[in-house]
Amino acid sequence: MAEQTPANSSYRKVLVTGANGQLGSRLTELGQKPGLHWVGYGRPELDITDEERVGKVLDRERPDVLVNAAAYTAVDRAEEEPKLAHQINAIGPAVLAKACAERGISFIHISTDYVFDGAQHRAYLVADEPNPQGVYARSKRAGELNVEKAFERCREASWWIIRVAWLYDVRGKNFFRTMVQLGESGKSLRVVDDQFGAPNAARPFASTIERLIQNLETVPSGYWHYSTEGPTSWFEFAKAIFALKGLEVDLRPCTSADYPTAAPRPKFSYLDGQYFAEVLRVERVHWEQELEQELKEN
C-alpha cells in the first residue's frame, strides 16, 4: 500500500508479541519513526499464555499499544494438537487482552480469513458471519471473541482485530519460499487451482499496522479486513512466483481433492480490504504488483 497523506501521530510505545515470526519480525524491523518506539518480545522472552509474565512485562514496559503477532499457525498440525492450538490462539489473546484492558493499553490482534467457511462467492466483509472449519480456524475465532469480551467494559483503551489471508514473505518458511525451493529443484509441480484468496506480503502489512497505530483515534474499534486486490488461486500465485523469479517449472493445476490436507481449507476466502484502506487513506495494491515490489526491494 502506498502512503498518500502524512500520518496523524503522537508519541507511542508499541510492544509486539511473537516478534520472531513472519509478521512480528517485519513489525519490529520497521525502524524507529518520530513518535513511535517499537519493542519486540519473541516467544522465549514472553509466552503470551503466561498470565503472570505478561503482567510483569506490561508493568515494566508500559506500552501504549500492544500488537499480538504471536500465534499457532501450523494449520494441518493443529488437527493433532487441538489443545495447544486453543491455548495459543484462544487463551493467549484472552490473557493479553485482559492485561491490556486492565492497564488502558490499546490492543491490536491479528486474525485470519479461515474464520470463514469459504462458501461465499463475493469478497468477505466484516459483517459476514464467521463459520470456522477445522481446529486452527476455530481456535482463531475463539481468540477473536475472547478479545472482544475482554474489552467489553473497558473505557480507557480500544481494540482492533485485523483479519489477513495468505501471509507470505520473500524470506523464512512459507508458500513463497516453498515454491522457490521446489521450482529450483527442477521437479514437476501440481498446485491447487480451486481455492481462491489473495496473497499478502508481511512487510507492507506491517507498514499498514504502523499506519493504524499512527491514526488510532480516527479508526473505530472492532474488526477490520486487510487485503491486496485479487482474488487469485494458489496455482496462479505459484505461476507468478516462477515467472518473476525466471524459473522454468513444469507446473500444472490440480484440485483440492487431488491434494488432501488434514485441515479443511475455505474454497473462497478473499477478504474485502477496501474499507480499511479508505479509512487509513492508503492505496490498495494488486497482489501481483506487491509480489513484484517485494522481490525488487528485498
Which active-site residues does the annotation give?
A: 136
The answer to the question of residue 43 lying near ligand NAP (CB under 6 A) is yes
**Nearer residue to ligand NAP within complex by CB, 51 or 281:** 51
**Nearer residue to ligand NAP within complex by CB, 77 or 281:** 77
Stretch of 47-55, 123-131, 223-231, 286-294 contacting ligand NAP, by CB under 6 A: 47-55
What is the distance between the alpha carbons of residues 156 and 71, in angstroms, rounded to a whole number?
A: 26
Q: Is the Cα dihedral 74, 31, 65, 274 positive or negative? A: negative
Q: How far is the CB of 73 from ligand NAP (least distance, A)?
A: 4
The β-bridge partners of 286 are 229
Q: How far is the CB of 19 from ligand NAP (least distance, A)?
A: 7
C-alpha distances in angstroms, 46 versus 55, 68, 111, 219, 239?
10, 11, 20, 28, 39
Q: How far is the CB of 148 from ligand NAP (least distance, A)?
A: 16
In the complex, residue closest to ligand NAP by CB? 21
Among 16, 164, 179, 280, contact with ligand NAP (rule: CB under 6 A):
164
Among 36, 65, 67, 71, contact with ligand NAP (rule: CB under 6 A):
71
Among 21, 40, 118, 197, contact with ligand NAP (rule: CB under 6 A):
21
**Which ranges of the chain does DSSP label H, i.e. alpha helix?**
22-28, 51-61, 82-86, 92-103, 135-150, 175-185, 202-214, 234-245, 274-280, 287-297
Q: What is the DSSP string of 215-241?
A: TGGGS-SEEEE---B--EEHHHHHHHH
To 10 degrees, what angle do helices 234-245 and 175-185 make? 60
Q: Give residues 85-114 in contact with ligand NAP (rule: CB under 6 A).
A: 88, 92, 110, 112
Q: What are phi and psi of 176, to 5 degrees?
A: -55, -50
The answer to the question of residue 48 lying near ligand NAP (CB under 6 A) is yes
Stretch of 31-39, 162-170, 221-229, 242-250 contacting ligand NAP, by CB under 6 A: 162-170
Amino acid at 159: W
Stretch of 59-67, 69-77, 122-130, 233-241 contacting ligand NAP, by CB under 6 A: 69-77
Q: What are phi and psi of 224, to 5 degrees?
A: -140, 145
Among 69, 212, 282, 285, contact with ligand NAP (rule: CB under 6 A):
69
Among 15, 16, 22, 139, contact with ligand NAP (rule: CB under 6 A):
22
What is the distance between the alpha carbons of residues 85 and 69, in angstroms, rounded to a whole number?
A: 15
**Nearer residue to ligand NAP within complex by CB, 110 or 277:** 110
The answer to the question of residue 49 lying near ligand NAP (CB under 6 A) is yes
DSSP state letter for 133: -
**Nearer residue to ligand NAP within complex by CB, 27 or 216:** 27
Q: How far is the CB of 142 from ligand NAP (least distance, A)?
A: 12
What is the distance between the alpha carbons of residues 281 and 4, in angstroms, rounded to a whole number?
A: 6
Beta strands 200-201 and 167-168 are parallel
Cell, residue 96: 493479553
The answer to the question of residue 17 lying near ligand NAP (CB under 6 A) is yes
User: Which residues of the chain form contacts with ligand NAP (CB under 6 A)?
Assistant: 17-18, 20-24, 43, 47-49, 69-73, 88, 92, 110, 112, 140, 164-167
